[in-house]
Amino acid sequence: MKEMMENGVMTLPLRGRIDAENAPEQERLIREKIAEHGPSGLILDCSELQYISSAGLRVLLRLKRTVPDLKLVNVSGEIYEILEMTGFLEILNVSRAYRTISLKGAKMIGQGASGIVYRLDPETIVKVYRNRDSLQEIFRERELAKRAFVLGIPTAISYGVVRLEEGGYGTVFELLEAESYAELLQSGKKSVDELAVMSTALLKQIHAIRGGAEIPPVKKEAISWVKALKGYLPEEAYEKLDGMLEALPEDDHLIHGDYHIKNLMWQQGETLLIDMDSLSCGQSVFELASIYNAYCAFPETNPESSRKFLGIPLDSARELWERSFYHYMEDESEAARARMYKQVQLISYMRIMSRRIRRGGQNTEDGRKEIAYCRGKLVELLKQVDQLT
């Protein structure tokens, strides 16, 4: 019985049959795993469970007393009927098995840190998660997307979770003949400046919305970025950067966190956002830094990344950033724009350097080059930036 731990929640697979003969042994194995890891929640994956008897149901009841946050996922139709007839659906959190689809012939239309988006047909897209054991990520993103929709962000709402023949899971959206901003630019239907105006208008709308306690703060994550740089930056530079982040006031305004032309969809004259797993609250400088990463900073160390990731030339990506930043800051003074620009760059290079270090980049030649490049940028910027507000 192979367990998987994520954020304190343990997932265990159930297989074959659980009846009077083997139920005690199944319970013993599960309790050993619980004792070993002390999970805050338990997910039992029933995708390979064929049958469960009353003895097995009693095991589930006892497990729920031990771990109240107990979920059953990938439950087949037959077992779901058993749980329904015995009243267990009112006691346990149960999710049916997911339908299986294939990506054969699907067109990739976008990608982000957590997944890749494919078009299945003119009406449907699916986000495929890079982590093949991604059910918890999917549930979290679906909840964030629902919350964002309720708060007034025009986001595509997932209407189902699917299992992939190629392995892993995806979440399905209905987007009738929608095109990404990248496709609009590639086809010539929209210019760089038109897309900058459109995307900035929505960005300002998002940043005006207060998220509330249900939306995670980006500041907490950002502090972990800078902590990863200890020992890689000069001590004085590290202390200054760490102090600026700690001093940053809390802010409950929404930020998308992965805002670029592959996650912006144009449908019947309306822009819809996809890929909501990075939704958080915080200062707008973090949002602008993530945009700068996508359009400028990542391509600086890998010039082909803008074409590969965004599907547009490097010059177009840079122009898109410059026009977007201009429109976002158009009501500010020239001094305020210059100050914000440096703050954005500081957060950007800090995040890239931290990401590279946490992924073991210091152990490869390319990784060491990228870390050294970001280090040089940060040291220079820290001479010019004294606060992040």
What domains, with CATH codes, occur in the chain?
Answer: 4-97 (3.30.750.24), 101-174 (3.30.200.20), 180-382 (3.90.1200)
Average pLDDT for residues 368-388, to the nearest whole number? Answer: 95
Q: What is the pLDDT of residues 131-163, one digit of tens each?
A: 777 777 888 888 888 888 889 999 887 777 888
Q: What is the pLDDT of residues 10-47, one digit of tens each?
A: 999 999 999 999 999 999 999 999 999 999 999 999 98
Q: Which runs of E-coded beta strand occur in the chain?
A: 4-6, 9-18, 41-52, 70-75, 93-96, 100-101, 107-111, 115-121, 124-129, 158-164, 169-174, 179-180, 254-255, 264-267, 270-273, 280-281
Question: Roughly what angle, to the nearest 10 degrees, separates helices 54-66 and 23-37?
Answer: 20
**Adjacent-strand bridge partners of 43:** 11, 71
pLDDT value, residue 176: 66
Give Cα 179 distance to the centre of its chain: 21
Q: What is the pLDDT of residues 79-126, one digit of tens each?
A: 988 999 999 998 999 988 878 889 998 988 777 667 888 888 888 889
Q: State how far the Cα of 145 lies from the Cα of 355, in Å rounded to an integer.
A: 25
Residue 221 structure tokens = 């994550």
Q: State how far the Cα of 271 lies from the Cα of 37, in Å rounded to an integer.
A: 44
Q: How many CB atoms lie within 10 A of CB 335?
A: 8
pLDDT value, residue 376: 96
For the cut 90, the answer to whether the pLDDT of residue 2 exceeds it is no
**Taking the model in full, what pTM does it have?**
0.75
pLDDT value, residue 112: 67
